[in-house]
Amino acid sequence: MAVKIDQKQVKTVTGSRYPHPFHTPCVGRTRQRLGDGAGLTQFGVNLTRLEPGGWSSQRHWHSAEDEFIYILEGELVLVTDSGEEILQPGDCAGFKAGIADGHHLQNRTDREAVFLEVGTRSIDDETAYSDIDLKVPAGRGEFTRKNGEPYS
């Protein structure tokens, strides 16, 4: 049965769960987990807003999860190992699981940007962060240092 999602009823989450100080660039990020609003379990869909100066995340890649983004409003800079690329409304990008190419979006403009994020949900996924001493081991959901030591 199809479920129409009432966006007003979908919880908005602000910022990130990153440990200090890695959370700082993401304080201007808000997400509505629209997929959760429909009870989806195999993939997630987020409506994400970035304030001027905000980042979507720390630069990262997933071992077992595909990701896809679609820009709805504003202008964002996609930062990957290959460099930087400007994305505008109607642009999209995908990130295949297992490709060690850290990516994230930055809002370098003076107005809010809005995009959709779609991604697999896998308990076997490990998230690696390209530029900082951080990872999420498979099945854990908790941040650790790259050597496996937990953050306190």
- Res 131: pLDDT: 97
φ, ψ (nearest 5 deg) of residue 36: -65, -35
Summarize pLDDT for 7-49 with one digit per residue, the tens.
999 999 999 999 999 999 999 999 999 999 999 999 999 999 9
**26/151 Cα distance (integer angstroms):** 18
Secondary structure (DSSP) of 75-122: -EEEEETTEEEEE-TT-EEEE-TT----BEEE--SSS-EEEEEEEE--
Summarize pLDDT for 55-91 with one digit per residue, the tens.
999 999 999 999 999 999 999 999 999 999 999 999 9
**105/75 Cα distance (integer angstroms):** 10
Own/partner contacts of 10-13, CB < 8 Å, gap of 24 or more, are 10/34, 10/36, 10/37, 11/36
Question: pTM of the predicted model, to two decimals?
Answer: 0.94
Domains and CATH numbers, the chain: 13-136 (2.60.120.10)
Q: What does DSSP assign to residue 33?
A: E
Summarize pLDDT for 79-132 with one digit per residue, the tens.
999 999 999 999 999 999 999 999 999 999 999 999 999 999 998 999 999 999
